[in-house]
Structure 1
């Protein structure tokens, strides 16, 4: 199934938000919706205590057999738990208006599974943090960092609660990725009828003013109400301040701007925004 909205769900508190945002995207884009759950039987297995020195002759073999049986039981429980979550997600999407959502369950790691499905993905929807990620507010979760770094498809990272986006903010720096992002925003059915904002962070120059006018012109020509600004300061702080001032519902960022730190997740600014944002963030590649 090509050009689908793929929603990755797990047992985290973000799963309901993932379901609702995925349903919204599927309906807006008129694209099929598939929920995927990945059974990673080794992601949360604690280190086994080495008891071999305390075991009598023959007991170690018996213990290893019992541990193997426990692994099989855990795998079965994880699969059954995943199937229940997929069914619940499907029912929720149907309640949201999606006519025929499908489900898939895969074994392995989240990143490997998504990379295998990449060619069929039009948009990936994930919770800001997954089930096994540390829940501290500043920690994004290693799975999400790897997904954002390695998957070359648009990724929508969402909070726990759905709010239909009505005001969109594009972080714009004049780069090739950002220009493609503005053109995508302008024509995407996902953002039909939304109010679009464009923000350039830096000193106001004739070049930046020209770039801003270009972006606003593209959006207005496509029928959007559009406004924007150029602001000095740190990029993440300026974006967050603008977001609060204007009641922005969704932030759009390119995975790379002009940052020279390309070996990091998706550029240091994007990483900071992902960790700090309380609204959905759409990452463009």
Structure 2
């Protein structure tokens, strides 16, 4: 099934903890970019065999009966998931304020395969992440979400907290190509037009951080609203998250990791550590 719009904010919902927050962020960015919103639900193939008794010897004549039972079980599970998804999409659509053009879409298959197929029509992707049950506990990022982040070339918002409209955003900056690109995106697009921006650089010394920030200042020339350039020293993740908490930033924006497909390198990356530990939504930009 194709998307209803040529360009859309694609908000992926599955009925879990942050589905309403994903929708609400979708509404916010749909309004700021004047782009339609699509609430998207995927139906993955259910795992068969959960309820069927496979114990004992299977006779030659009973094999077909068993296969029929497994097929019927899978069909029943799939129907339940489809019905649940449709009801959820309708409920979430009802909560979208008037004036926002919204559609819903349900597809079979994996999240990664579907969003990759829809990338050309997606202006921004919004995903919910599992929450943190205890303070200091790192968030586990699923393999499909990893693939989505690594492969797509659109802004991706990772939602890990209830919706709160951003008033201040921290933009992590290290002078790299991806950081400069992220800053250009923030400066040139209406995604974060009305917020107070804090461009934060962490280096081994304050002097070095200040020098790195010099390359950021021309990129933000002419940007509306308050812009602060902040130099910090220390370990990058600790320092950035400490500043975010101290200044009550509602959103973190940063460049995403590269296309390296090695899982161990991904999980050793700065981006992965920020995803695992941040307590506010992250906007990943390329």
Q: Distance in 1 between matches of 2:167 and 2:265?
A: 31
1:77 paired to 2:84: no
Secondary structure in 2 matching 1:201: strand
Deviates more, 1:216-225 or 1:246-255: 216-225
CA shift digits 1:181-224 (9 cap, x unpaired): 11221222121221100111113476642431342453352123
Deviation at 1:128, TM superposition (A): 1.5
Measured in 2, the distance between the counterparts of 1:127 and 1:221 equals 33
Deviation of 1:267 after TM superposition, in Å, equals 6.5
Q: CA RMSD in A?
A: 2.6
Alignment CA distance shift 1:231-1:205 (3 Å)? closer
Aligned residue runs from structure 1 range 258-277, under 5 A:
264-265=265-266, 268-277=269-278
Aligned to 1:63: 66
1:57 shift after superposition: 5.4
Q: TM-score, normalised by structure 1?
A: 0.87
1:43-58 alignment runs, 5 A limit: 45=48, 51=54, 53-56=56-59, 58=61
Matched, 1:88 2:91: yes
1:133 alignment counterpart? none
2:209/2:232 contact within 8 Å kept = no
Equivalent in the alignment of 1:188: 189
**Within 2, Cα distance between the matches of 1:56 and 1:217?**
76
In structure 1, the residue matched to 2:103 is 102
Shift of 1:14: 1.2
CA contact (8 A) 1:149 1:266 kept: no
The 1:78–1:122 alpha-carbon spacing in structure 2 relative to 1, beyond 3 Å, is: same
How many residues end up aligned between the 2 structures? 275
Aligned CA distance change for structure 1 residues 46 and 18 (closer, same or farther; 3 Å): farther
Tell me, yes or no, if structure 1 residue 233 matches structure 2 residue 237. Answer: no
Superposition deviation, residue 50 in structure 1: 8.0
Indicate the residue corresponding to 1:144 in structure 2.
145
Q: 2:38 aligns with which of 28, 31, 34?
A: 34
Paired residues of 1:26 and 1:98 also in contact (CA < 8 A): no
For structure 2, which runs of at least 5 residues remain unmatched after alignment? 132-136
Unaligned runs of 5+ in 1: 131-135
- The 2-side partners of 1:193 and 1:51 are apart by 59
